[in-house]
Amino acid sequence: MSRDKGESATARSDTHPRHPRGMAATDRNPADLGRPKRPGSASWSPRIAQRPAARMTPTVTESVPATGLSAGHGGGTTTACPPSRTTGILRNATRRRDAGGRGGVAGVKGFEGIRLRLSDGYDAYARLWSPSDTPRGAVLYLHGIQSHGQWFEASAARLAEAGFMVLLPDRRGSGRNTADRGHAPSAARLIRDVAEAMSELHVRSGLPCCTLLGVSWGGKLALAAARECSRRVEHIVLVAPGLFPLVDLPWSTKAAVAAAALVAPRRTFPIPLRDPALFTANPDRRAFIAADPLALHRVTAAFLLASRRLDRLAAGVGRAIEPRPLSLLLAEHDRIIDNRRTLDFIRDLRWPHEVRLYPGAHHTLEFEPDPQPFFDDLAARLVRPPAAERGAADTASEERGRQAAQSASASSGRG
């Protein structure tokens, strides 16, 4: 995406090289979406593993190249990730060392707090974890609609321990970003924010591609952004992604949103997720959510319109780009998203992917009483993304996982 006339190309830092000027922030303009035909092979299908509820032993891991997809991924038509095209926008950042987990998860290792000056002048806060050695990969971590980066500091730290550089921005108008609270002008702007964060991650890690990791609402942003930045994405990880919500605005509010979008786009509406019990059954984490001063509870009509546009972009990702390895992690007792519809959607993509369903778990896997198995699984998925192999055992496991997801949706309180 070319820079708009008059946009700022400034940011702040003293340690990182400048991006070349005049390069595109994304691979394609959001206003000009093509729909190339999906490559032909129909041999891909998910490998689904259901884990026991208490202590779950993580999969044995091995290193994979951080520079792109292997030849087997995606039916042989997806090429290795090429060098990223950078924007000339995120050349610098103000750096500050934070003690991670302050007011949140105890024992989280420190991260680097940075400010990202986006191309429209918005100054956004982000957390950056760097591994102790040369990064084996880079992860752009996208949080949910109500949450912010502090909720996911523990899993981000675990990924850094596994050798990954992790950038976890607070979305504009959320978390520590107080300007334009709850507002986003458009879906294209949200996608461009992701693309510019990718550019910052590229400069800091030296790697041309990254994994997009989206949690809840951040899952649909990850898929929509993957459409526009596909050549810079080597793997997609979705954790309880908000593609098919069980909780939604009432029709009367939707009508009010539609009217406000035309005449008062900054009018705010409540996010229908006020009950902490929707996120977790963990009493300590419920108390944290209830008292969280940075949680977002209202968003603008423009934001909701942008979110609806992201829904449509995410729904069409399979027709828009070549396959990418995809990892899906679901909670059995999720009361926010529809597991069955989510699993059906991922299966219909026919991309190489793997599904983890956590029995007894609730929407925010990070907040489980013992989240360590989830953290370890997350690191394992990044170290070894799903491949395209498939066998008889995978077929049987797929059917068991589909039935488990249907059972989870039925027990989540839909009826």
pLDDT for the residue numbered 106:
44
Q: At what angle do helices 153-161 and 372-383 cross, to 10 degrees?
A: 50
Reference 216, options 337, 81, 383; nearest CA is 337
What is the sign of the dihedral through the CA atoms of 340, 343, 345 and 350?
negative
Cα–Cα separations (whole angstroms), residue 386 to 47, 345, 380: 8, 17, 10
pLDDT for the residue numbered 408:
55
Rg (CA), the chain: 20
pLDDT for the residue numbered 399:
54
Per-residue pLDDT for the chain (415 aa), expressed as one digit of tens each? 433 433 333 343 333 333 333 333 344 433 333 333 333 333 333 333 444 444 443 332 222 222 232 323 333 223 334 433 333 333 333 344 444 433 334 444 589 999 999 999 999 999 999 998 999 999 999 999 999 999 999 999 999 999 999 999 999 999 999 999 999 999 999 999 999 999 999 999 999 999 999 999 999 999 999 999 999 999 999 999 999 999 999 999 999 999 999 999 999 999 999 999 999 999 999 999 999 999 999 999 999 999 999 999 999 999 999 999 999 999 999 999 999 999 999 999 999 999 999 999 999 999 999 999 999 999 999 999 887 544 333 444 455 555 655 665 555 444 3
Dist CA 188 CA 88 (whole Å): 18
User: pLDDT per residue over 158-182, tens digit each?
Assistant: 999 999 999 999 999 999 999 999 9
Structure tokens at 122: 């918005």
Q: What is the DSSP letter of 232?
A: G
Give the pTM: 0.74
**Three-state SS for 412?**
coil
Domains detected in the chain: 62-410 (3.40.50.1820)
Cα–Cα separations (whole angstroms), residue 11 to 95, 103, 130, 205: 12, 29, 20, 17
pLDDT for the residue numbered 280:
98
pLDDT for the residue numbered 110:
82
User: Over the range 272-304, which residues count as b (16 or more CB within 10 Å of their CB) and which as e?
Assistant: bbeebebbbbbeebbebbeebebbbeebbbbbb
